[in-house]
């Protein structure tokens, strides 16, 4: 029999991981990347004798595939992807391809914001008692981990782009942290398309599976009303009393699942802010479902150190706190950051605007922000939105300069917050590069 041909578009972490797993499963594998494949990934492909090309797409080699795995960064609008689909060749995501190669229990976590923190916190709790991997949009690729470690359980952080190309993927436990407008340029600027993409995480679930979600998020609750799912629902809320799920009462998180209840005080949570109480609720609900002991959950919530580039305290200089929230690539993430500021704040903002509406930030800017430093190629929209609200608003295209300006403007007791509310691709490689440059600039003051 002729080997099935697996073509992989994109030679990054998920692409190379899938190539390794595909080869191990007996596929004839070809990796093609229109950009340059990084040297470390090239070495892996060469060492494993996997055919590859970069800086081009050879159509003849791609269009004879039996299945195509495309990197989440490649939009469906691309002509080559359209051709592949027109030929009837199935296009899948790494999550879809890899999940078929494991019998592990999968916890899938998605949402516009909070998914990295929730996934990292969930993994941190579960690993105390279970054999568990952390993958998806975070760390080593899911496919590579299945090949090398094959954990009994996985926590996957899953983006809408990864969910767009699933067919049969079905997590035992799905979590939706929240849904706010994001990446609309990939969804024909229709919010409902983006919402539908997020809900694909539950589309194959049955009543034996669970959907954990934010019951305070109207977008989620309205969608569920009009598009019911098969899963067993476990909502969490800061404001409502929840019979089956989690809620907040007198600074305690109360989680009830099938008459089994645990109570966790929020007073000792290492992560600050209301949004992090919600992240803790989601993670604890998952842990409770997977029979993790109450004591373990409590201790894990109290010693979790948080995620890099997410409200990460970098240094205190002259009693000014420098905070790296580079992962805030949309308005809603920055909303949570500004909400949690407890001192006058110098705010560094800007980048590639994804159709942002800044209105929901006005209240916090009026209350808490003393100066704005715009860090982007095009800052016109920021000046229009906030120009009249603060005494100082300046622009720069260099992180080092942004940090120096902030150092001059900030006074003892203030915060300097990098929370861009935008994508990073105009001046930086990605949000990690942006965050690292901020931290280096702060350390060099």
Count the Cβ atoms, other than its own, within 10 Å of residue 84: 21
Whole-angstrom distance, CA of residue 213 vs CA of residue 199: 11
Is 141 marked as a binding-site residue? no
Q: Is 198 annotated as a binding residue?
A: no
CA pseudo-torsion sign 202, 208, 212, 213: positive
CA gap 251, 267 in Å, rounded: 7
Structure token pair of residue 372: 């704005």
Residue boundaries of the structural domains of the chain: 5-92, 97-303, 312-444
| For residue 238, pLDDT beyond 80 | yes
How confident is the model over 385-441, as pLDDT tens digits?
999 999 999 999 999 999 999 999 999 999 999 999 998 888 898 999 999 999 999
What is the structure's pLDDT at 147?
96
71 marked among binding-site residues: no
What is the enclosing helix (H) or strand (E) of 315?
A: strand 312-317
34-84 pLDDT, tens digit per residue, is 999 999 999 999 999 999 999 999 999 999 999 999 998 898 889 999 999
Q: How, if at all, do strands 312-317 and 320-324 pair? A: antiparallel
Q: State yes or no: 412 annotated in a binding site.
A: no
**Total Cβ atoms within 10 A of residue 127:** 16
Q: pLDDT for 71-98, tens place per residue?
A: 988 988 899 999 999 999 999 999 999 9
383-391 long-range Cβ contacts below 8 angstroms, 24+ apart? 385/358, 385/359, 386/358, 389/362, 389/365, 390/365
Place of tokens 């990073």: 424
In this prediction, residues 110-120 reach a mean pLDDT of: 92
Range 209-227 burial, b when 16+ CB lie within 10 A, else e: bbbbbbbbbebbeebbeee
Is 111 labeled as ligand-binding? yes
Question: Is CATH 3.40.1190.10 correct for 97-303?
Answer: yes
The reply, when asked if residue 170 is annotated as ligand binding, is: no
- Judged by DSSP in three states, 252 sits in strand
Cα gap 223→192, rounded to integer Å: 9
**Is 70 exceeded by the pLDDT of residue 1?**
no
| Cα 120 to chain centroid, rounded | 10
Instruction: Kindly list the strands in the beta sheet with 252-257, ordered across the sheet, starting from the edge strand earlier in the chain.
Output: 132-136, 153-157, 105-110, 173-176, 210-214, 232-237, 245-249, 252-257, 260-265
5-92 topology per CATH: Rossmann fold (3.40.50)
Would you say domain 312-444 falls under CATH 1.10.3300.10? no
Q: Is 115 annotated as a binding residue?
A: yes
């Amino acid at each position: 029999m002729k080997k099935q041909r697996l073509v992989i578009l994109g030679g990054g972490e998920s692409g190379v991981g899938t190539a390794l797993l595909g080869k191990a499963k007996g596929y004839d594998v070809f990796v093609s990347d229109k950009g340059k494949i990084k040297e470390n990934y090239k070495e892996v492909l060469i060492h494993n004798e996997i055919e590859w090309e970069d800086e081009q797409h050879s159509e003849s080699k791609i269009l004879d595939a039996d299945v195509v795995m495309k990197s989440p960064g490649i939009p469906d609008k691309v002509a080559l992807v359209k051709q592949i689909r027109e030929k009837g060749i199935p296009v899948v995501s790494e999550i879809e391809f890899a999940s078929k190669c494991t019998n592990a229990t999968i916890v899938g976590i998605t949402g516009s914001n909070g998914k990295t923190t929730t996934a990292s916190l969930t993994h941190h709790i579960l690993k105390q008692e279970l054999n568990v991997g952390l993958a998806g949009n975070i760390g080593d690729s899911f496919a590579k981990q299945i090949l090398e470690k094959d954990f009994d359980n996985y926590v996957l952080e899953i983006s809408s782009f990864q969910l767009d190309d699933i067919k049969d993927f079905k997590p035992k436990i799905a979590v939706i942290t929240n849904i706010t407008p994001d990446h609309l340029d990939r969804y024909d600027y229709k919010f409902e398309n983006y919402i539908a993409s997020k809900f694909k995480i539950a589309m194959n679930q049955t009543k034996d599976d669970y959907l954990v979600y934010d019951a305070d998020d109207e977008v989620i609750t309205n969608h569920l009303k009009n598009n019911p799912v098969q899963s067993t629902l476990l909502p969490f809320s800061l404001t409502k009393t929840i019979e089956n799920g989690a809620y907040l009462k007198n600074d305690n998180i109360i989680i009830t699942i099938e008459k089994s209840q645990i109570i966790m005080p929020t007073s000792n949570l290492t992560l600050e802010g209301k949004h992090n109480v919600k992240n803790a609720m989601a993670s604890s609900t998952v842990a409770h479902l997977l029979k993790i002991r109450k004591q373990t959950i409590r201790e894990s919530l109290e010693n979790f150190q948080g995620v890099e580039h997410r409200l990460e305290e970098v240094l205190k200089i002259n009693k000014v706190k420098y905070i790296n929230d580079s992962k805030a690539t949309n308005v809603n993430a920055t909303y949570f950051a500004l909400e949690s500021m407890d001192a006058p704040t110098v705010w560094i903002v800007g980048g590639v605007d994804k159709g942002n509406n800044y209105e929901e930030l006005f209240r916090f800017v009026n209350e808490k922000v003393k100066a704005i430093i715009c860090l982007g190629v095009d800052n016109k929209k920021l000046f229009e939105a906030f120009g009249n609200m603060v005494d100082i608003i300046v622009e720069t295209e260099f992180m080092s300069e942004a940090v120096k300006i902030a150092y001059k403007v900030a006074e003892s007791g203030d915060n300097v917050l990098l929370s861009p509310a935008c994508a990073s691709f105009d001046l930086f490689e990605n949000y990690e590069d942006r965050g690292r440059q901020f931290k280096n600039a702060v350390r060099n003051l």
